Structure 1
């Protein structure tokens, strides 16, 4: 099974400069960015079967990751 890389730079490659700039100047963006990557890392560990979790836990994490990505994208579009 191939596991997709949901790193924010992979999700929005055309916004790399904006991502870097917002991480430096917007603490809220930086906090959400870090949370997004923490959640993504946990999802990947579960999908790679490094860490056990219920289907409900995995789905909850994926939903959280999606909401964070939506919030981050909205902030990037405003910048």
Structure 2
């Protein structure tokens, strides 16, 4: 769906408290979460405002967001046992 928000708290609702904790206590996690948010914001802006961009650029942004989401998920899982 175009323009859909992919907030980490919506993507991983059962980890909301852990996400908040790791953002404040783990600088690497915090940096990944910030970059994920930036990418999501940029992707949504391109979709909703119909900003001209190449398919390659748009796909690269989405791929980077997916890679970060996977990394974030593995970090969350590693902190829950």
Q: TM-score, normalised on structure 2?
A: 0.90
Unaligned runs of 5+ in 2: none
Partner of 1:61: 61
Unaligned runs of 5+ in 1: none
Q: Number of aligned pairs?
A: 79
Partner of 1:76: 76
Task: Kindly report the root-mean-square deviation, in angstroms, between the aligned alpha carbons of the 2 structures.
Answer: 1.3
Per mean C-alpha deviation after superposition, the further-off stretch among 52-61 and 34-43 is 52-61
Partner of 1:43: 43
C-alpha distance in structure 2 between counterparts of 1:47 and 1:35, whole Å: 18
CA deviations over 1:21-65 (Å, ceiling 9, x no partner): 000110000000000000111100111125331111111100000
* Runs of 4+ residues over 3 Å off in structure 1: none
Q: TM-score, normalised on structure 1?
A: 0.92
